[in-house]
Amino acid sequence: MPSIIQLLPDHVANQIAAGEVVQRPASVVKELLENAVDAGATDIKLIVKDAGKTLVQVIDNGQGMNVTDARMCFERHATSKIRQAEDLFALSTKGFRGEALASIAAIAHVELKTKQDADELGHHIVIEGSRYVSQEVAVLPTGTSFAIKNLFFNIPARRNFLKSEIVEQRHIIDEFQRVALAHPQIHFSMYHNGSDVYNLPISNIRQRIVNIFAGKTNEKLVPVEEETEIVKISGFASKPEFAKKNRSEQFFFVNDRFIRSGYLHHAIMSAYDGLLKDGSQPSYFLYLTVPPSSIDINIHPTKTEIKFDDEKALYAILRAAVKHSLGQFNVAPVLDFDRDPSLDTPYDYRNASAATPTVEFNGDYNPFADTRPNTPSRESSSFSVNHSTGRHFPKATGNWDSLYIGLENEKDSIPTTGFEFEADVITSSLFDDVHEKTVTKTYQLNRKYIVSPIKNGMVIVHQHRAHQRILYENFLKSITIKKGLSQQLLFPLHLYFGAEELQAIDEMKDSLTNVGFVFDLNEAESVIVSGVPVNVSESEVSLVLEQLLSDLHSDIPLTSFSQSDQIAKSMAQSLAVKTGVTLNEQDQENIVNGLFACKEQNVCPFQKTTFTTIRVEDIDKKF
């Protein structure tokens, strides 16, 4: 009987490994950028076309490779960082990924240009699907250039699973930001489809953060510093008033490596306890330095998760460091149970000397004396005198009945003609007209549902989902027919966003204009909004745009097939009336009537039920 188990050919094994290593173009960007950093480069350029589907190129001025290394780097399990098994537990570079370049070469067209400083000529290698096409010497600058073209050209099924260009570009920018934030001592630049996206000069950490996220980032940051035997913490956290709706500006770096950790994130959130609104997320850029032997970075294929030896101690130190920084810069309230604020000296009187008070009194004053010499009696004057103060007060009179003499006769002199009196409506019974007023009346149940009677029972409408459906169809109609109504603002709004967010807004400009937004992009990395849709208030503009950018970044909703559909769903989700809001009778009827005027009434834009019907027969069965 012949053998069943056989060894796979190298090109097939590389394609299988590519499924784990290269999930999307952003995976290629991460690998090439980290290799450039490990090569000792001080200037790294990232060039992307069509969100990485056509081209991903990384150019650095690092140490380069000789001809042997240039060939060996595409072999499986080839690395410059591991010599023995113990090295896996003491990595100080970006980590070991043996199949990375080999897997990339198996599913793309790769062009490598590299030259060492001591060599006069460099080496130019071209690979297509793990097959070496050419290798020759060339005149090149010192450093390395990797050009990855036509990603997944021989695996069309994987290429079809890629998201839209906006989403893939967002993932590439995420990887670029993580590497750039971890290494402010390197000059990074990024270009997409020929346009300049980032140009980050060599700087300190704070300036690198401001250069990436722009806007008013500098005034949002609070420095965090702590050093113990276990960990050294440095970086910045944002003030609570600048919290965002998404988690796009949350970064942990351990030994200059970006990681994700829900456990450490919980420590940050506990430090902000009581300072944030519901659903808000703080921004933070925290750099942790720990001994390499105290962590395990090989528990995740992409090295974004790390196992710490003493997580509980790290949790407590991180929480205390952030909380201390917020209190030190008067961001968080400080509790002092021995301090009474009412006893604080006003600022104007801190250095003033105390003045001795003066006491004045009248020694001749007798409160029990009825009359005094040279003063009139009570009957002779209608006023009494306080001799200590010299003030006059009206005297009490005993014949107060005389004040009303003559009023009886004046009643007849008051004219009664020309006046109209409003008759009082007397209701004989509390339930007289109950049938007239409750026929078409709606009721709000638990500030969540709207109950409306119908001929054979009642309809229960979910107010939030129903309003989502109404707004969604209105926005989608405005985008389609390009006749969105807009209301002009008296004073334009200036909203600040990062470079990648401005790029996303620019790409959506036509759709947003059709909805009703009127805005311009300027070079100061801000959006000047001069007009908004009629159903969007001025205070909601920033929230709507932030939610829209967050949805595009997270690829939410997953069932969207077009940019217009995503915009309509995101804006409907942001502007729909929330659960817990009290609605008057007119608003309730508008939602019910608007829902049943929609083309699709049964579900909201996110495929959830909007209403249900209860028949009289179903109610009868309960009795």
Q: Are residues 129 and 190 in the same domain?
A: yes
Q: Are residues 113 and 168 in the same domain?
A: yes
Does residue 278 form part of some domain?
Answer: yes
Q: Are residues 293 and 186 in the same domain?
A: no
Return the higher-pLDDT residue of 320 and 424: 320
Q: Are residues 171 and 242 in the same domain?
A: no
Cα 181 from Cα 186, distance rounded (Å) = 10
Q: Any idea what DSSP says for residue 382?
A: S
CB-based contact 37:94 (threshold 8 Å): yes
3-state secondary structure of 296: strand
The number of folded domains in the chain is 3
- Among 328, 353, 371, residue at a domain's last position: 328
Residue 285 scores a pLDDT above 80: yes
Cα 397 from Cα 285, distance rounded (Å) = 81
Does residue 67 form part of some domain?
Answer: yes
3-state secondary structure of 185: coil
Least Cα distance to 69 among 139, 130, 116 occurs for: 116
Does residue 520 form part of some domain?
Answer: yes
Residue 509 scores a pLDDT above 80: yes
- 118-176 tens-digit pLDDT: 999 999 999 998 889 999 999 999 999 999 999 988 888 888 888 878 788 888 999 99
Segments forming the whole domain that contains residue 189: 10-200
CB-based contact 549:505 (threshold 8 Å): yes
- Tokens representing 378 are 């009570």
Q: For position 595, which CATH number holds?
A: 3.30.1370.100
Cα 87 from Cα 93, distance rounded (Å) = 11
CA 87 to chain centre: 39
Strands 131-138 and 109-115: unpaired
pLDDT band of 560, cuts 50, 70, 90: very low
**Where do we find the tokens 């009537």?**
593
Cα 329 from Cα 327, distance rounded (Å) = 5
Does residue 372 form part of some domain?
Answer: no
What integer pLDDT is reported at residue 563 of this predicted model?
Answer: 75
Q: Are residues 293 and 159 in the same domain?
A: no
Q: Are residues 194 and 211 in the same domain?
A: no
Residue 351 scores a pLDDT above 60: yes
% of the chain beyond a pLDDT of 90: 34
Q: Are residues 171 and 209 in the same domain?
A: no
- 465-483 tens-digit pLDDT: 999 999 999 988 888 887 7
Neighbouring CB atoms inside 10 A of 515's CB total 24
pLDDT band of 613, cuts 50, 70, 90: very high
What integer pLDDT is reported at residue 137 of this predicted model?
Answer: 94
Q: Any idea what DSSP says for residue 359?
A: -
CB-based contact 129:150 (threshold 8 Å): no
User: What's the Cα-to-Cα distance from 317 to each of 107, 182, 306, 324, rounded to whole Å?
Assistant: 45, 21, 17, 10
- 120-133 tens-digit pLDDT: 999 999 999 888 99
Q: Are residues 215 and 185 in the same domain?
A: no
Q: Are residues 142 and 240 in the same domain?
A: no
Q: Which amino acid is at 259?
A: I
- Among 304, 328, 352, residue at a domain's last position: 328
Residue 256 scores a pLDDT above 80: yes
Listed in sequence order, the residues at least 6 apart from 59 whose beta carbon sits closer than 8 Å to its beta carbon are 44, 45, 47, 143, 144, 145
- Among 200, 234, 253, residue at a domain's last position: 200
CA 591 to chain centre: 29
Which conformational region is residue 390 in: left (phi greater than 0), alpha (psi within -120 to 50 degrees), or beta?
Answer: left
| CA dihedral for 14, 19, 20, 21, sign (positive or negative) | positive
Does residue 356 form part of some domain?
Answer: no
Cα 554 from Cα 159, distance rounded (Å) = 20
The arithmetic mean of pLDDT across residues 483-500, rounded, is 82
The arithmetic mean of pLDDT across residues 453-458, rounded, is 89
pLDDT band of 410, cuts 50, 70, 90: low
Q: Are residues 452 and 550 in the same domain?
A: yes
Strand partners of residue 445: 449
Does residue 187 form part of some domain?
Answer: yes
% of the chain beyond a pLDDT of 70: 77
What integer pLDDT is reported at residue 112 of this predicted model?
Answer: 94
Strands 257-259 and 221-227: unpaired
Does residue 471 form part of some domain?
Answer: yes
What integer pLDDT is reported at residue 311 of this predicted model?
Answer: 87
Q: For position 212, which CATH number holds?
A: 3.30.230.10
What integer pLDDT is reported at residue 48 of this predicted model?
Answer: 96
Q: How high is the mean pLDDT of the chain?
A: 81
pLDDT band of 343, cuts 50, 70, 90: low
pLDDT band of 438, cuts 50, 70, 90: very low
Q: For position 189, which CATH number holds?
A: 3.30.565.10
Q: Are residues 283 and 168 in the same domain?
A: no
What integer pLDDT is reported at residue 254 of this predicted model?
Answer: 92
Q: Which amino acid is at 238?
A: S
pTM listed for this prediction: 0.68
Least Cα distance to 111 among 146, 150, 66 occurs for: 146
Q: Are residues 110 and 234 in the same domain?
A: no
CB-based contact 327:237 (threshold 8 Å): no
Does residue 548 form part of some domain?
Answer: yes
